[in-house]
Amino acid sequence: MLHELLLALLGFTGDFVLDNSSGRRRPEPAEAGGAGDGDVGPAFRLAPDLTFLQPSERSAIERLISLGFYYRELNRFATESRDLSWIQSSVEVSSPNADITLKGKVRKGSAYRRAIANGIAEILSVYRSAVLQVEQNLLSDPLPILATVTHGLNKFEVLLPPLYELVMEIEQKDIKGGQLLNLLHKRCHCGVPELQSCIQRLLWHGHQVMFNQLTSWMVYGILQDQYHEFFIRRQVDRDEENEPAQSDVADKFAQKLAKDTSLTSWHSGFHVSLDMLPDYIHMRVAESILFAGKAIRVLRNPSPGATLLEPTNQSQTLKGSHRMQGFTGGSGALKELPNFSNISAEELLPQAEADRVDAMLKQLKHASEFHKRLFESAVSSIRTIAANHLWQLVVVRADLNGHLKALKDYFLLAKGDFFQCFLEESRQLMRLPPRQSTAEADLIVPFQLAALKTIGDEDKYFTRVSLRMPLFGMKSSTSQKDLQKSNTSDISLHGKASSELALDGWHSIALEYSVDWPLQLFFTPDVLSKYRKVFQYLIRLKRTQMELEKSWTAVMHQDHVDFSDYCKDRKNSSATQLRRLRTKPFWRVREHMAFLIRNLQFYIQVDVIESQWNVLQTHVQDSHDFTELVTFHQDYLSALISQSFLDIGSVSRILDSIMKLCLQFCWSIEQYETGSNMFEIDHITEEFNKKSNSLYTILRSSRLAGSQRAPFLRQFLMRLNFNSFFETTARGVMNSGRLRPGTASTQL
């Protein structure tokens, strides 16, 4: 009977101890129900025919043998979780008929569950040692049997039942990964010191797996997570379940490998899985871990064709750039910077730094307990190391500031002489409707001529700039004449579509900038799209300003010719003199238009672009953190867009309408001959005054006064309203919305 009891304590039943679990069902994974249900309790019972036992003795023995049941179930869980024989079977069932053959019962592996099983095996080893000690004590002193057994195993009565409930919950709900760490972390908060120590030990084993994954990710940039348990997840892992099995999967995979994997991984390759993120790890910390791993991947996998500067030349400007040859719209490969195609990961991330990161993670891994503050501090330090080396790569080696200056020169029109020359060379072309098939090619010639006249040899970035003509916002037949003959009554309507507000068929002129590795990490497609949006706005504004100046020059030349004819023959030049008198009031209106456009252009170029550029340059010089630079650059672009009013639909539409009216006015004035044309000019003048007054009213509204635009906006309004002219007309004090030429002349 003694040996029956000892064997029962180790999970073996016989005639003395019976196992009533033969007809009971073991809970399947993901099955609902708690571990404390009646059908999953202790199944070991004493034989009913043991009549010589007293009720108190039977109760004490049944309480003891329940430990044997818990031991057996825990040992079963540990054995199954640590068994690796399923790996071969999982390979065999990878065929299309695997689900039918095994009826979906193929057990998935779990590194975290196997680690917890190792911890449970440790506890069970201590339990077996205690049973062995009890046996030795009974053999040396057989009396009293029951008291000796109870005394030797008493502490396990508070350990094994909760561990059994824990195991049942893990199996029933198929808990693994970060969810398993969450469960253990919650179970640690109990009032039983022995149980708390055991669960903390299990949590320690789970953290060993997590720290191994963190080391692989943050030291080597490799995601070791074959069971999808880590809180850093590949983006494709989330989508691959929805992809059907097709015959061209291998071809698609080969095409994916052909791309720059480091860039794909950086932008959309990985994400934080909230399902597997432990509750005691803050989302901010998880994002730092995500960034650090992605940065290490970039640093350890440099692009074979990387065009980088030597670190010693970071403050120098390379001379001797090639002149444009074989010009095709500004596109071409960069030839001015040396191509270090054999650059190694050791140069970008020294081994000493990788060892330092590894040492920090090992120190956390070997600690007896998980300390949240120390963990967050280590992650922050590792993130700083990765960000600094990424900054060294992008800012110093890849010459980030030079590219920022190039984008400012061309996308923000800082090279005003180049774009002035380009608009002059293409002025006659843009007065004709663009041809759908050749519009872009037609612009290459004036673009090339402007480059040859204004771009010097020292500009090594111009070869990265190319001119593009995307889809037209209006029909290709829209031109100068179409604008003049458009429905003038439609001009006053509100809520028009953006295509109707386009200046003409050439309004979609855009620039593209060729960016090489690793600058794609900084200049993402979204960033370049914002630059392109600002450029299209600025080039329309500059074109409008140039047309206002050119129209004044052309008509003044004609006016001088008419005046010369009048002086030569005063008797036969009455028609000429009458035309001169009738056109003078319209030039006052033109001055009003030019006044608004000039001030708007000055405000954007000086108050917005230059001031924000100086702020960005200060940040670039002071910061040594890549993520900070990305944030500063995003703030820079957001400020450009917001302070230029591109994010306010009502203001943007009014500005487009004003520029469109200015172009219509210029083209109508230059062809001023008939009375019907005069009526059209009067209507354009009236609409311009309405739009300009509406613009002033919106800009001085209280909603904009409290925004980040306020300081610079007030300067713009002060320039517009320096003599209270705009404020007076906006309030309707002056006579009607139509600008009186004489009054306008006085105010301007």
pLDDT given at position 480: 44
Cis bond leading into 350, ω under 30°? no
pLDDT bucket at 286, cuts 50 / 70 / 90: very high
- Based on the fold, state whether residues 660 and 577 are members of the same structural domain: yes
- To 10 degrees, what angle do helices 2-9 and 145-153 make? 10
For the whole model, what pTM was predicted? 0.74
Strand, coil or helix: what is 565? helix
- Based on the fold, state whether residues 155 and 197 are members of the same structural domain: no
pLDDT given at position 252: 45
Q: Residues of 301-317 as b/e, b for ≥16 C-beta within 10 angstroms?
A: ebbeebbbbeeeeeeee
Give the end of a domain, one of 483, 516, 549: 516
Is pLDDT larger for residue 162 or for residue 694?
162
The three-point CA angle 10-11-14 to 5° equals: 110
pLDDT given at position 70: 92
pLDDT tens digits, one per residue of 407-430: 999 999 998 889 999 988 888 888
Cβ-Cβ contacts under 8 Å for 153 (sequence gap 6 or more): 9, 64, 67, 127, 130, 131, 134
Please tell me the chain's helix, strand, coil percentages from 3-state DSSP, rounded to the nearest 5: 65, 5, 30
**Neighbour-count burial of 81, counting CB atoms closer than 10 A to its CB (0-12 exposed, 13-18 middle, 19+ buried):** buried
- Based on the fold, state whether residues 133 and 272 are members of the same structural domain: no
Rounded CA-CA distance 501/479 in Å is: 14
Residue 339 has pLDDT above 50, yes or no: no
Residue 133 has pLDDT above 70, yes or no: yes
Q: Residues of 9-47 as b/e, b for ≥16 C-beta within 10 angstroms?
A: bbbebeebbbbebeeeeebeeeeeeebeeeebebbbbbe
* Distances in whole angstroms, Cα of residue 210 to Cα of each of 109, 111, 182: 16, 9, 12
Please check whether residue 251 lies inside any domain of the structure.
Answer: no
* Distances in whole angstroms, Cα of residue 408 to Cα of each of 183, 464, 600, 613: 53, 13, 18, 8
Q: Residues of 667-706 as b/e, b for ≥16 C-beta within 10 angstroms?
A: bbbeebeeeeeeebbebbbbbbbbbbbbbbebbbeeebee
- Based on the fold, state whether residues 602 and 650 are members of the same structural domain: yes
Print the domain residue range for 648: 524-735
For the chain, how many structural domains are there in total? 4
For 522-551, what is the mean pLDDT? 89
- Based on the fold, state whether residues 144 and 278 are members of the same structural domain: no
Give the end of a domain, one of 397, 427, 460: 397
Query: Distance between terminal CA atoms of the chain?
Result: 116
Please check whether residue 264 lies inside any domain of the structure.
Answer: yes
Residue 307 has pLDDT above 80, yes or no: no
Helix (H), strand (E) at residue 296: helix 283-300
pLDDT given at position 384: 93
* Rounded percentage of the chain residues whose pLDDT exceeds 90: 29
- Based on the fold, state whether residues 449 and 378 are members of the same structural domain: no
- Based on the fold, state whether residues 454 and 594 are members of the same structural domain: no
Residue 282 has pLDDT above 90, yes or no: yes
For 461-478, what is the mean pLDDT? 67
Rounded CA-CA distance 500/478 in Å is: 11
For 482-488, what is the mean pLDDT? 42
Rounded CA-CA distance 383/376 in Å is: 10
Give the end of a domain, one of 174, 206, 221: 174
> Which of 297-311, 378-392, 420-434 is predicted most confidently?
378-392
Please check whether residue 606 lies inside any domain of the structure.
Answer: yes
Phi-psi region of 266 (alpha: psi -120 to 50; beta: other; left: phi over 0): alpha
Name the nearest CA neighbour of 704 among 691, 692, 717: 717
For 597-605, what is the mean pLDDT? 89
Q: What's the mean per-residue pLDDT of the chain? A: 76
Is pLDDT larger for residue 685 or for residue 264?
685
pLDDT given at position 489: 39
207 has which bridge partners?
A: none
pLDDT given at position 646: 86
For 536-563, what is the mean pLDDT? 77
468 has which bridge partners?
A: 510
pLDDT bucket at 177, cuts 50 / 70 / 90: very high
Is pLDDT larger for residue 49 or for residue 188?
188
Please check whether residue 268 lies inside any domain of the structure.
Answer: yes
Rounded CA-CA distance 234/297 in Å is: 13
Rounded CA-CA distance 35/172 in Å is: 8
pLDDT given at position 701: 75
- Based on the fold, state whether residues 636 and 687 are members of the same structural domain: yes
Rounded CA-CA distance 80/487 in Å is: 81
pLDDT given at position 361: 95
- Based on the fold, state whether residues 59 and 164 are members of the same structural domain: yes
Please check whether residue 92 lies inside any domain of the structure.
Answer: no
pLDDT given at position 730: 61
Please check whether residue 406 lies inside any domain of the structure.
Answer: no
Residue 146 has pLDDT above 50, yes or no: yes
- Based on the fold, state whether residues 436 and 391 are members of the same structural domain: no
pLDDT given at position 308: 54
CB 207 within 8 A of CB 370: yes
Please check whether residue 494 lies inside any domain of the structure.
Answer: no
Residue 380 has pLDDT above 60, yes or no: yes
Is pLDDT larger for residue 488 or for residue 443?
443
Please check whether residue 653 lies inside any domain of the structure.
Answer: yes
- Based on the fold, state whether residues 510 and 592 are members of the same structural domain: no
Give the β-pairing of 465-468 and 44-46. unpaired
pLDDT bucket at 237, cuts 50 / 70 / 90: low
pLDDT bucket at 179, cuts 50 / 70 / 90: very high
- Based on the fold, state whether residues 629 and 557 are members of the same structural domain: yes
pLDDT given at position 201: 94
